[in-house]
Amino acid sequence: MQNENKIETSCGLDCPDACGIVVEDNSIKADPNHPTSTGSLCSLVNKYLPDEPRITSPKVNGKEVTLAEALEATKEALDTPRKLLWRGSGNFGVMQEISNLLFDKIDGTTTKGTLCDGSGDAGILEGRGVNRILPIEQIKKAEVVVVWGKNITITSAHLMPHLKDKKIIVIDPVKTAIAKKADIYLQIAPRSDFFVAIMLSRFALMGNFEDKEYIEEHASEYEDFYDFTQEFRIRPILDYINTDLQEMGSILEMIDGKKTVFLVGNGVQKYSIGHLTLQAIDSLAVMLGKMGKEGCGVGFLGNSKLGFNNPFEIKGKKVQKANANFGDFDSVLIQGGNPVASMPNSSRVIEELQKTKTIIYFGLYENETSAMANIIIPAKNFFEKEDVRLSYAHHSISPMRKIQECDYGISEYDFTNILLQKLDFEPLKEEQYYLDFWFNQCTKVDRYYRSPAYQEIPYQEGFGEESDEEFIFPDEFGDDFIKTKQFTRARRKSKKEVIISDYWLITPKANKALNTQFKRDNQVAVHPSLGFEDEERVKVYSKWGEHYFFVKNSEALRKDSVLITANTIGVNFLTPNIISDEGDSACYQEVKVKVEKIDA
């Protein structure tokens, strides 16, 4: 029986863990029965409670108004032929998407693609046909864990206890906390992951590390793949990656005969060729027989909605999320995001937004985007409304419950429902109808629900939607960003080294922030050999723009890279608004930057 003072809910922040929360006597605790629980919540959820300053008053053109007035102004703004809905991932509840139903009715434009994991996802789809989540139970059963471009201790902290007593291999240009503890650490050149996977595959096939029985059955084109790997020249590529035969061999030996999972993060795919990288990493795992078996698999950001009918899915006009031309619209509704800071190429974003007649910001906090808005609508946070939480890293679906009142904010359901009626459309169905729509598609397991896509060991039977297909290896490589001619056999002539005069920009997540929510930073981390002083103010610039930061020296970096976390004010003035070759994704790291001293 449920204690009256006890409410079970879950965290809505955009993080793979999607933790279960128990609220008792006004305090929030981790739900020990949640599958990823380690007994405690992270500091970010705690920040969510009162001390974070909220937008408490609706505004129209800088003036405080009532919510009713702000909604009336919103109605007028949306009553125009050209309107765009741009939604961020500030709250991961499914009810965020209910505003699609409004834009469907009013014939508005929405977005496609992501700022996040789209290019990697596209590569997974190419190889496996479907992007299934690697269940946490399989991670627990692994003997070796390859942490590849994922900063686990910060972005997925609840996985850490499950990695205890396992062999750890880390592949990351930055010596992260987990890299420091790893059994093997490869401090590779940024954006060289495709080559790492191809070289490891090639050596695996040369050294007979492949799992013949498995690939004969599930990936029978492996001989063509072997030929493909042979198009790449070993010596210049190993030099470029910053590794050697011995190191590659030691990785294969550590994995050989051991249950192995590859935990792959966003870091490997913030590039135009991210899809090829994920497909190559998958190919390596498949070849070694580390997929579709107990204690094995490649875990990336999975598709949380796989297997669901989504009542909020709409057709209609769509523009690229990472590259939206806001200026093409009279009115832009920005919900649950901070695109002025989080989208790439901030100068372009600002310029585009300045061309828009009305910007409507629907969110919790003041930020770069709310500062540009004509209409501000205060949202409710995830403790103040009902919702459903899916995860892109496990299969538990949990209710998000209202545990506190908020008399100034409005939920996405109410916002949508009111505007539909103001614009003379039929109202929505009851809120519970939409919540149940999701739960009814799940299996109930204790207090949680289980996603319809759950499979204990994904890809055990095969690949594709129906698990009756084979794995598809990559068979083509093209890259317009770095000169790779010297790497491939086809064009052997050029012997030029890749000359690095500028620095790679590494821009990962920060510890005490969730994207641009909560804590903001102002630093650029550089290798001490670059000759800057700590706290020195420098200009960092790229062909896309510039911004000023304070220096922090760090031995964890390579000499060819600088690091600015995603919560840093101004970081996206440096990043390009190009879209990945596949997957409609932003490519935050497809850029080289310069760092300049500022004369006092």
Judged by the rule CB under 5 A, the positions of this chain that interact with Mo ion are 116
- The answer to whether residue 59 forms part of the interface with ligand MGD (CB under 6 A) is no
Residue ranges in 181-220 that form contacts with ligand MGD under rule CB under 6 A: 190-191, 193
Q: How far is the CB of 142 from ligand MGD (least distance, A)?
A: 18
Q: How far is the CB of 321 from Mo ion (least distance, A)?
A: 12
When CB distances are held under 5 to 8 angstroms depending on the partner's kind, the choice from ligand MGD, Mo ion, none that residue 201 binds is none
In angstroms, what is the minimal distance from the CB of 355 to ligand MGD?
Answer: 20
Please state, in angstroms and as integers, the Cα–Cα distance from residue 426 to each residue in 81, 429, 437, following that order. 20, 9, 19
In whole angstroms, the minimum distance from the beta carbon of 88 to ligand MGD comes to: 3
Q: Nearer to Mo ion by C-beta: 38 or 89?
A: 89
Shortest Å, Cβ 116 to Mo ion: 3
Contacts with ligand MGD: how many residues (CB under 6 A)?
57
**Residue 197 near residue 280 (C-beta atoms within 8 A):** yes
Beta carbons within 10 angstroms of residue 507's beta carbon: 22
- Shorter beta-carbon distance to Mo ion: residue 154 or 204: 154
Which partner in Mo ion, ligand MGD, none is near 365 (CB below 5 to 8 A by kind)? ligand MGD
The position carrying tokens 């919702």 is: 387
Tell whether residue 134 is a contact of ligand MGD (CB under 6 A).
Answer: no
For ligand MGD, the closer of residues 446 and 555 by Cβ is 555
Question: Within 341-360, which residues bind ligand MGD (CB under 6 A)?
Answer: 342
User: What's 41-66 look like in SS3?
Assistant: CCHHHHHCCCCCCCCCCCEECCEECC
- Residue 306 in the binding site for ligand MGD (CB under 6 A): no
Burial grade of 2 (CB within 10 A; 0-12, 13-18, 19 or more): exposed
Judged by beta carbon, residue 15 or residue 21, the one nearer ligand MGD is 15
Picked from ligand MGD, Mo ion, none, the partner binding residue 132 (CB below 5 to 8 A depending on kind) is: none
Closer to ligand MGD by CB, 113 or 289: give it.
Answer: 113
Pick from 84, 268, 296, 397 the residue near ligand MGD by CB under 6 A: 268
Of 237 and 510, nearer to ligand MGD (C-beta) is 510
378 binds ligand MGD (CB under 6 A): no
Q: Single out the residue of 253, 265, 257 nearest to residue 298, CA to CA.
A: 265
Q: Which of 37, 74, 119, 151 binds ligand MGD (CB under 6 A)?
A: 151
Judged by CB under 6 A, does residue 267 bind ligand MGD? yes
- Binding-site partner at residue 506 among Mo ion, ligand MGD, none, CB < 5 to 8 Å by type: ligand MGD
The yes or no reply on residue 506 touching ligand MGD (CB under 6 A) is yes
Binding test (CB under 6 A) with ligand MGD, winner from 113, 118, 135, 265: 265
Smallest gap from Cβ 550 to ligand MGD, in A, equals 17
- DSSP secondary structure string, 271-331? STTHHHHHHHHHHHHHHTT-SSSTT-EEE-S--TTTT---TT---S-EEEGGG--GGG-SE
| Using rule CB under 6 A, residue 590 touches ligand MGD | no
> CB of 438: closest distance to ligand MGD in angstroms?
17
The Cα 519–Cα 51 span in angstroms is 12
* Interface pick for ligand MGD out of 289, 363, 570, 583 (rule CB under 6 A): 363
For residue 489, the 8-state DSSP code is G
Q: Which of residues 529-588 bind ligand MGD (CB under 6 A)?
A: 566, 571-572, 575, 588
Does 365 sit near ligand MGD (CB under 6 A)? yes
Residue 319 identity: V
> In this structure, is the dihedral angle defined by the CA atoms of residues 180, 186, 188 and 194, taken in order, positive or negative?
negative
Helix, strand, coil percent values for the chain (each to nearest 5): 30, 20, 50
How far lies 304's CA from each of 17, 18, 111, 272, 432, in Å?
A: 12, 11, 18, 23, 21
User: What's the half-sphere exposure (Cβ side, CA atoms, 13 Å) at 1?
Assistant: 2
Of 455, 467, 511, 523, the one binding ligand MGD by CB under 6 A: 511
Taking CB within 5 to 8 Å according to partner kind, which of Mo ion, ligand MGD, none is near residue 362?
ligand MGD
**Contact indicator for 279, 128 with CB cutoff of 8 Å:** no
Pairing mode of beta strands 63-64, 59-60:
antiparallel
Tokens of 566: 């995603």
User: CB of residue 22 vs Mo ion: minimum separation in angstroms?
Assistant: 26
In the complex with Mo ion, the residue whose CB is nearer, 70 or 159, is 159
**Cβ distance 191 to 482 under 8 Å?**
yes
171 vs 278 by CB, closer to ligand MGD = 171
| Three-state DSSP class for residue 220 | coil
Instruction: Report, in Å, the least distance between residue 558 CB and ligand MGD.
Output: 10
What is the smallest separation between the CB atom of 310 and Mo ion, expressed in angstroms? 19
Among 198, 214, 203, which Cα is nearest to 245's? 203
Closest alpha carbon to 378 in 395, 396, 366, 387 = 366
Smallest distance from the beta carbon of 267 to Mo ion, in angstroms? 12
Pick from Mo ion, ligand MGD, none: which does 119 bind, CB < 5 to 8 A by kind? none
Taking the complex as a whole, the smallest distance from the CB of residue 153 to Mo ion amounts, in Å, to: 17
Minimal distance in Å, beta carbon 170 to Mo ion? 21
Give kind and range of the element (H or E) at residue 388. strand 387-389
Q: Among positive and negative, which fits the CA dihedral 160, 162, 166, 167?
A: negative
Beta bridge partners of 319: 111
Residue 215: in which H helix or E strand, if any?
A: helix 212-218
Strands 592-597 and 448-450: unpaired
The count of other CB atoms within 10 Å of the CB of residue 241 is: 21
CA distance 142 to 170: 15
Task: Supply 209's token pair.
Answer: 């590390």
Q: Judged by CB under 6 A, does residue 507 bind ligand MGD?
A: yes
| Region from 223-231, 245-253, 330-338, 543-551 binding ligand MGD, contact rule CB under 6 A | 330-338
Q: Which of 11, 28, 71, 116 binds ligand MGD (CB under 6 A)?
A: 116
Q: Provide the binding-site residues for ligand MGD, judged by CB under 6 A.
A: 14-15, 88-91, 115-116, 148-151, 154-155, 171-174, 176, 190-191, 193, 265-268, 335-339, 342, 362-365, 367, 379, 381-382, 506-511, 513-517, 566, 571-572, 575, 588-589
